[in-house]
Amino acid sequence: MSAPVLEVEDLRVRLRTPRGTAHVVNGLDYTVGPGETVAVVGESGSGKSVSVLALMGLLPSGSATVTGRALLQGEDLLAMSPDRLRRVRGPGMGMVFQDPMTSLNPVLTVGRQLVEGIRAHQRVSKQAARARAVELLAEVGLPDPARAVDRYPHELSGGMRQRVMIAIALSNSPALLVADEATTALDVTVQAQIIDLVERLQSEHGTGVIWITHDLGVVAGIADRVLVMYGGRCVEDGTVDDVLDRPRHPYTRGLLGALPDLAEPLADGSRRDLATIPGVPPPPTDLPPGCVFWPRCPVRGDARCETEQPPLTVVGSGSAALPHRAATWCGEDSR
């Protein structure tokens, strides 16, 4: 495998809150290769969004403390000067946000916002940037791009706006694209279109993608590798097949069990009830000392779970390059 686009080592984020220090991200390690899609899954509050905002340097500098290393093409994002970081945002990495209704400035036309991104990094005339903006809109499949550049965001539908956001994020051909719940606010058919679009652009440009979602259907559709987050920690990671078909961590199993059952109804015509994981994630200001999932864990397969943190260790199959790792002591058969 060629040199990774992004290497994250021991990423930790603490936020100062009125209720004490919140340990939102607690030691993440992962890599993203060129053309590879890594899905980060987990429920609300598991630290997925914060972990990528930390990489982009978009957390409020006053209350957030970020430690660890995050090498984007060999250069540490967390040690960069603000000016260098500004130059890297765009050509180094782009980001697509969850809600396309709020991620475009309502008072500027789509074209102006695209031109802004282009001219922040490329020394081109306004006319050339505008022509490039039209090209980009065509590339993301916006109908009638020559007229769409002069539209205001409120004149476009949600799916079209998300295409515009992708065009903006890709306007400087970033090595890494971060999609933070990019399809969550869209309806299912538009979701599929957006996913197809990102996959096509990714294969054309060799972009590495971090796809944050809580939709396991999306993960199965797009990801090469999956990282399951809970309580700010990675509880399991590996290839899509390993994690989704042979989950090891009780939390991953719970997540997969909580999918609606679309299989044939049972003999009496009824369907299996939707399984849920009882309880709520621990508050990041007050994490349990042992396994973060212990308070909700239906298995509790090892006495150490309550007091000690299970380390992330290689489990089962998986190659040396693409290991399947899980932070659990529970055995394979302890379902």
Report the interface residues with other proteins, using CB under 8 A: 56, 58, 62, 86-91, 94-95, 97-99, 101-108, 113, 116-117, 120-121, 152-160, 165, 168-169, 171-172, 183, 187-192, 195-196, 215-218, 220-221, 244-245, 256-257, 259-263
Report the candidate in 37, 41, 1 with the shortest Cα–Cα distance to residue 236.
41
- Determine contact, residues 115/126, Cβ cutoff 8 Å: yes
Complex with other proteins: residue 222 or 327, whichever CB lies closer:
222
Q: Between 74 and 260, name the residue whose CB sits nearer to other proteins.
A: 260
What pairs with residue 15 in β-bridges? 22, 64
Give the pair of three-digit tokens for residue 243. 């994690």
CB of 172 to other proteins, least distance (A): 7
d(CA 148, CA 142): 8
176 vs 229, which CB is nearer to other proteins? 176
Strand 6-17 and strand 93-96: the pairing is: unpaired
Q: Which residue number, 101 or 287, has a Cβ lying nearer to other proteins?
A: 101
CB atoms within 10 A of CB 293: 28
Work out how close the CB of 309 gets to other proteins at its nearest, in angstroms, rounded to a whole number.
28
Q: What pairing do the DSSP bridges indicate for beta strands 93-96 and 75-76?
A: unpaired
Minimum CB distance to other proteins, residue 12 (Å)? 22
Q: Nearest distance from residue 230's CB to other proteins, in Å? A: 19
Pick the closer one to other proteins by CB: 2 or 81: 81
Determine the straight-line distance between the first and last CA of the chain, rounded to whole angstroms.
35
Longest C-alpha distance within the chain, in Å?
A: 69
Nearer to other proteins, 38 or 312 (CB): 38
Distant-in-sequence, close-in-space partners of 169: CB < 8 Å, separation ≥ 6: 94, 95, 96, 177
As measured in angstroms, the least distance from the Cβ of 330 to other proteins is 18
Minimum distance from CB of 4 to other proteins (Å)? 21
User: By C-beta, is 105 or 313 nearer to other proteins?
Assistant: 105
Q: In the complex, what is the shortest distance from the CB of residue 150 to other proteins, in angstroms, rounded to a whole number? A: 13
3-state percent breakdown (helix, strand, coil) of the chain, nearest 5: 35, 25, 45
CB of 92 to other proteins, least distance (A): 9
Closer to other proteins by CB, 210 or 244: give it.
244
Phi and psi dihedrals of 51, rounded to 5? -65, -35
DSSP label of 279: S
CA distances from 163 to 113, 156, 183, 228, 243 (A): 13, 10, 11, 27, 30
